[in-house]
Every structure is written in C-alpha cells, then in structure tokens.
Amino acid sequence: MAKQDYYATLGVAKDASGDDLKKAYRKMAMKYHPDRNPGDAAAEARFKEVSEAYDVLKDDQKRAAYDRFGHAAFENGGAGGQQGFGDGAGLGDIFDQMFGEFMGGGRGRRGGPRGGADVRAAVEVTLEEAFKGTKRTIRVPTRVACEACAGTGSESKEKGSETCTGCGGAGKVRAQQGFFIVERTCPTCGGAGRVVRNPCRICGGAATVQRERSLQVDIPGGVEDGTRIRLSGQGEAGGPGGPAGDLYVHIGVQPHEIFQREGANILCHVPIRMTQAALGADVEVPSIDGSKARVKIPPGTQTGAQFRLRGKGFSVLRTHQRGDMFIQIAVETPQHLTPRQRELLEQFESEAQGHQKGSPETAGFFAKVRDFFENHGRSSS
C-alpha cells in the first residue's frame, strides 16, 4: 500500500514552519503514543507513521530531498519506513527525541550511562506540623544498586561495564541513507555507550534490583498543601555507572477543626453569645503555636466583625516571620430558652421597640420598607 504524504500525515501545509511541524507532532504523538493506548495496534502503527513523517520533515536536508523526490528519496539507502528509528531504537527513543526535554528521569542521556528514574511519594501532615515543621520516615518501593555486583552490573565487580565496540562509547552509530548520513541509537548498547560482558546473576546486568527503602524526610515549617520537596539522588538507581534519579515528596496538609489557613495568615471563626456581643466581653482564643490570646469584644459587636492579632499567624517558609491571625465573630442566637430567659427577652423586646437607637440597622431597614410601600401605593393610584 502506498505511503501517505508526510505533510498529510502530520496535518500541516507544505510550507509549514518548523514550529508548526513540532506542534503538530506533539499533538499527534501524545494522542497515539502506546503508553496512552496499551494494546491498540492501530494507534501504535499511527504513532510510527507520524514519528517517521516528523523525523524527515524536521531535518532541512531530509525535507529538501523529500520535497524533490518524495518517498523515493529514501528507498535506495534502505531506510524504508523507519527513517533512522529502527535497528534497536524503540518507541521510547522516538518519544524521547520530542519530549525528553519536558520529562525528567527514567531514560539516560544518549551516549552515556542510563540514569535512574525519578520517584514520587506523598506525605500528609497536620496543620500544626506544617506550622512547626516535622520529620517523616517514608517507605519507598524503588530500584537500588545491586549489592551482589556493587552496582556494576557485572559478575566481576572490579571490571564492571566496558566501552561499547559498536559505537566506541558514543551511544550512536551513523549509516548512509540515500543522499545523507543518519544517526541511530547504537543497537549493541541501546545508547548507553557501555556494555556488560559478564552480567550479574542477581540483576541480569541491570546493576539495580527492586527494593523498599526507608527514608527520613525533613518537612520545613511553613509548607503549604501541594508543596513538593525534591531529594536529589534519592530516586531509582541508574544503570552501570549512571546517576540516580530524584525523589519528589508531595506534601498534603490536613484540614483543621479550628483554624483556616490563607497564605501566611490564619482565620479563626469565634462564636459568641448575643449578650456578650451586646454588653462586650473578653474572649480567650487559641493560637496555632499552642499559646492563648485574649480578644476584647467591644459592646455592640455584630456578626462578621474581625479582630487582627499581629504575628499570630502561620510561619513563612524558610524565614523567621509569621503572618497574622484574624478572629471573625459570629453572634449566636440563643436556643431552647428557659421560661425565665424567655420572660427576660420578652421584656427586653418590649422596651427595645421604643428605643430605635438600640438597633439602628433594623430601624433603618424597616423605615426604607415603609417608604417603598408608600411610594408604590402612590404610583399605583
């Protein structure tokens, strides 16, 4: 079956710029990548097609040859349908060429030892622990250096790996492809540049084995929900001679039953009795650091009133500073009154009706209501 035009495969015009080609390839590669479509042979075939098309069109020399001769430009050199992606280069290598700069860890750099993958872990702390800072011991399933071969991958610990004779340690080999020379990942070493001649019986030459490690993580005071802590070199061990990946610890902060955090500040909702709001009172409130503070509530305080306690808020990450705490008042209406309480409140209400200044907002609102109905009545007549 005849191959589809490379420009049509990527869905771009023949005069598309390099950036347009890259955007089109990213979109289609993400859509059809085998990791996103496990077991889907059609998606894998489509992924190969778009990768092949992009490999040609992104290179000015290849693109010029293709524009002039079409697919025939690559037939004589034996490139066939892979255009530099075959002979030992897997789909992961293709994906790395496009997205490697955006994805950390997992695959080693071309021409060097394979690096270890990054590892992610999650830790939950209380709000108090996030304020003060704490330590956590976490257990991480990961790959560690094989003890049997001391991380060399070889049965002979001293010798370890050797420079690949197929590429001379470069990790790439060159081949004539029609009118030009194409670089490919070395099929002998898989791009590592080194090979293990006498593989370790325990790790099979990988230099790493699966284990569960215990690590202590220092969580500094001031961390927020979603903070990510990076522990360099604490991820999976790399291949023979390769660097270890990193460990990323994601912090989750549990909700608190009293405090709400807003950046460096803390909000505390404090309910008070109706009589306390009317007469005024001194209220004792807790602080996130475990101390107590007294707040003076002036007579006539309304629901929603806020009082600020400077320096009583949350710690600021990697500083000695603290934010402020805001006390927000909610006036609570009494429930389940005793007969005596009801009697006193009825007496209070009777006197309040003749004392408009005692409830200025209530008096003002109902005065506006009377005016509204009077004006409505005049306009209707």
Is residue 275 a part of any domain in this protein?
yes
| Same domain (yes/no): 325, 364 | no
294 and 350 co-located in one domain? no
Instruction: Report the SS3 class of residue 268.
Output: strand
The domain boundary residue, chosen from 57, 78, 103: 103
Do 273 and 348 belong to one domain? no
Query: Is residue 131 a part of any domain in this protein?
Result: no
Is residue 11 assigned to a domain?
yes
Domain count, the chain: 3
Rounded to an integer, what distance in angstroms lies between the CA atom of residue 164 and that of residue 186? 9
- Looking at the structure, do residues 369 and 274 belong to the same domain, yes or no? no
d(CA 110, CA 380): 86
Report long-range pairs for 84-89 (Cβ below 8 Å, ≥24 apart): 84/55, 84/177, 84/182, 84/183, 84/184, 85/48, 85/51, 85/52, 85/55, 85/184, 86/184, 87/184, 87/185, 87/187, 88/184, 88/185, 88/186, 88/187, 88/188, 88/190, 89/184, 89/185, 89/187, 89/191
Q: Is residue 316 part of a domain?
A: yes
Asked if 352 and 296 sit in the same domain, the reply is no
Last residue of a domain, one of 103, 137, 171: 103
Can you give the CATH number for the domain in which 4 is found?
Answer: 1.10.287.110
Domain boundary among the residues 51, 69, 103 is at 103
pLDDT in tens, 2-17: 678 899 899 999 888 8
- At 24-65, the pLDDT tens digits run 888 888 888 877 888 888 888 888 888 888 888 988 888 888
**Which positions ≥6 away from 32 have C-beta within 8 Å?**
43, 44, 46, 47, 50
- Compute the residue count for the chain: 381
- Taking CA 328 as the corner, what is the angle to CA 323 and CA 334, rounded to the nearest 5 degrees? 155
Shared domain for 279 and 361, answered yes or no, is: no
- 292 & 356 share domain: no
Could you tell me if 345 and 326 lie in one domain? no
Residues 277, 366, single domain; the answer is: no
Q: Quick check: helix, strand or coil at residue 225?
A: coil
| Residue 287 falls inside a structural domain | yes
Q: What is the pLDDT along the chain (381 residues), one digit of tens a residue?
A: 567 889 989 999 988 888 889 888 888 888 888 778 888 888 888 888 888 888 889 888 888 888 887 877 766 443 333 333 333 334 444 444 444 433 334 444 444 566 778 888 899 999 999 999 999 998 888 778 888 887 777 777 566 667 787 887 787 888 766 666 677 888 877 777 777 777 888 787 777 788 888 889 999 999 999 899 999 988 887 766 678 889 999 999 999 999 999 999 999 999 999 999 999 999 999 999 999 999 999 999 999 999 999 999 999 998 889 999 999 999 999 999 999 999 999 998 888 877 767 777 777 887 888 888 888 777 665
Q: 345 and 315 in one domain?
A: no
Q: Is there a domain that residue 88 lies in?
A: yes
Could you list the residue range(s) of the whole structural domain that residue 270 is in?
Answer: 259-332
Looking at the structure, tell me whether residues 4 and 70 fall in a common domain.
yes
CB atoms within 10 A of CB 381: 4
Could you tell me the CATH number of the domain that includes residue 284? 2.60.260.20
Percent of the chain with pLDDT over 90: 33
Q: Is residue 367 part of a domain?
A: yes
Establish if 188 belongs to a structural domain: no
pTM of the model: 0.55
13 and 86 in a common domain: yes
271 φ, ψ to 5°? -80, 140
